[in-house]
């Protein structure tokens, strides 16, 4: 029996589902464990009440099992029930976010992939996981290539004609030379210094697989990704792609090449995902492991990149003050006051900001450490701004002088930012 697939959107609240679902349980949930969070966040909840199934979703998108091999759920990034029927283009959001180099330090916790459970069949052109991973991978590879490909010592095994180089491998020398009568040749193992090392080989192998996958899509963003990847290939010409993942499981990498840790981890995930992937065989459907993308974190990173475009290095992302961690601090300039800023992936375009969100951001503004950071030594209020999605706004954040003040509170502002969309 083919499993059924429920299509849903973000931010559903107790939506009654049509259709019959033959499930034994009454409540089904799945949680997303964020790094450093005390409690995991709920991705979805399906509950049977009065013979009807009620589905609630939050701010995670992805594909997962409700009941293994029987019923799966797929949550799309559709922020509103707009009559024009658009979806949030989360791949473009990731593209825009990764134009800001600091965001590479905050990729942890953005995506969760579960390889312990069976994969789920989805239409090939709707495989968001592979493209999301490929986009992350290509951006990191571009940084590595620009900085310089890592070099190290590595072992080479090959037959040497009429000479000895390094150490003779006796069993292989017997097999390839002595039994064949090639008594002048020696099968040797020796060290060389260069870029053809296991760490680079797994990256080259992942690049090769990425190109195969991208060949199966024709979206605008895929064309851009493919062009970038093709542009990187010449720099990696001297690296092979024959490698065992175990060879790089315990690699030691110089701190100068800190991007390598992230690139290798993504490459390993990519190779696992693409091992399921039927896209290489040209089928209409493909299989993906259960996965979830945290849209609140992606929105934070997207907003950070836009704030950096406006205010440059004056914007600090997730500074730590003990256990307190505001989203952003906007340092003062000659003609601009400081701001404590918070990104909220909520529908604030047509209503007031929730009191809990106001309390949170204003609480940050009262921290003595933050006041000291801003060099404020009097009792004046620090302005706060809450940034939220608003499809009626221009794509970029407005000038700070146009931020709207919340009528109930002093120096609490809100401003919307337009998200990229896919028209259906």
Q: What whole-number distance in Å separates Cα of residue 53 and Cα of residue 31?
A: 19
pLDDT (0 to 100) of residue 363: 95
Buried b (16+ CB within 10 A) or exposed e, 373-387: ebebeeeeebbbbbb
Q: What whole-number distance in Å separates Cα of residue 104 and Cα of residue 144?
A: 12
How buried is 219 (Cβ within 10 angstroms: 0-12 exposed, 13-18 middle, 19+ buried)? middle
∠116-119-121 over CA atoms, to 5°? 170
Q: What whole-number distance in Å separates Cα of residue 98 and Cα of residue 102?
A: 8
**Cα dihedral sign for 195, 197, 198, 199?**
negative
Task: Tell me which of 2.60.40, 3.40.50, 2.40.50, 3.40.1350 is the CATH number of domain 296-423.
Answer: 3.40.1350
pLDDT (0 to 100) of residue 280: 44
Domain edges within the chain = 1-76, 118-145+196-289, 152-194, 296-423
Among 367, 383, 385, 379, which residue's Cα sits nearest to residue 321?
A: 367
pLDDT in tens, the chain (424 residues): 688 899 999 988 888 888 777 787 888 888 887 766 777 889 999 998 888 889 999 999 999 999 998 899 999 998 665 555 678 999 999 999 999 999 999 999 999 999 999 999 888 888 889 999 999 999 999 999 999 999 999 999 999 999 999 999 999 999 999 999 999 999 999 999 999 999 999 999 999 999 988 888 878 888 999 999 999 999 999 999 988 877 676 566 777 788 899 999 999 999 988 876 654 445 678 889 999 999 999 999 999 999 999 999 999 999 999 889 999 999 999 889 999 999 999 988 778 889 999 999 999 999 999 999 999 888 899 999 999 998 887 666 667 888 888 888 899 999 999 999 887 6
pTM above 0.75, yes or no: yes
């Amino acid at each position: 029996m083919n499993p059924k697939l429920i299509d849903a959107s973000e931010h559903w609240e107790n939506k009654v589902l049509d259709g019959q679902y033959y499930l034994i349980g009454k409540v089904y949930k799945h949680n997303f464990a964020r790094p450093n969070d005390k409690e995991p966040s709920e991705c979805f909840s399906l509950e049977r009440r009065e013979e009807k199934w009620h589905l609630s979703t939050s701010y995670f998108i992805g594909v997962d099992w409700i009941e293994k091999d029987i019923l799966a759920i797929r949550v799309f990034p559709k922020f509103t029930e707009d009559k024009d029927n658009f979806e949030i283009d989360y791949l473009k959001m990731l593209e825009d976010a990764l134009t800001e180099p600091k965001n590479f330090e905050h990729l942890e916790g953005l995506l969760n992939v579960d390889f312990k459970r069976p994969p789920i069949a989805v239409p090939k052109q709707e495989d968001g996981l592979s493209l999301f991973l490929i986009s992350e991978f290509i951006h990191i590879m571009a940084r590595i290539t620009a900085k310089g490909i890592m070099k190290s010592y590595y072992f080479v095994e090959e037959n040497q004609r009429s000479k000895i180089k390094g150490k003779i491998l006796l069993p292989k020398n017997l097999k390839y030379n002595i039994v064949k009568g090639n008594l002048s040749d020696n099968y040797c193992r020796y060290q060389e210094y260069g870029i053809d090392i296991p760490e680079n080989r797994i990256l080259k192998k992942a690049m090769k697989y990425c190109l195969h996958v991208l060949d199966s899509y024709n979206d605008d963003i895929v064309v851009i990704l493919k062009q970038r990847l093709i542009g990187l290939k010449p720099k990696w010409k001297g690296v092979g792609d024959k490698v065992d993942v175990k060879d790089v499981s315990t690699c030691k990498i110089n701190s100068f090449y800190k991007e390598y840790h992230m690139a290798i981890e993504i490459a390993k995930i990519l190779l696992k995902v693409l091992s399921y992937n039927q896209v290489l065989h040209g089928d209409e459907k493909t299989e993906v492991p259960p996965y979830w993308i945290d849209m609140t974190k992606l929105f934070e990173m997207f907003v950070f990149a836009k704030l950096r475009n406006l205010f440059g290095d004056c914007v600090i992302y997730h500074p730590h003050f003990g256990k307190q961690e505001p989203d952003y601090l906007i340092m003062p300039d000659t003609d601009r006051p400081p701001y404590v800023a918070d990104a909220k992936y909520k529908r604030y375009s047509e209503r007031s900001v929730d009191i809990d969100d106001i309390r949170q951001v204003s609480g940050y503004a009262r921290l003595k450490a933050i006041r000291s950071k801003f060099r404020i030594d009097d009792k004046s209020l620090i302005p706060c701004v809450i940034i939220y999605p608003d499809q009626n706004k221009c794509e970029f954040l407005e000038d700070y002088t146009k931020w709207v003040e919340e009528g109930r509170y002093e120096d609490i502002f809100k401003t919307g930012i337009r998200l990229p969309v896919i028209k259906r």
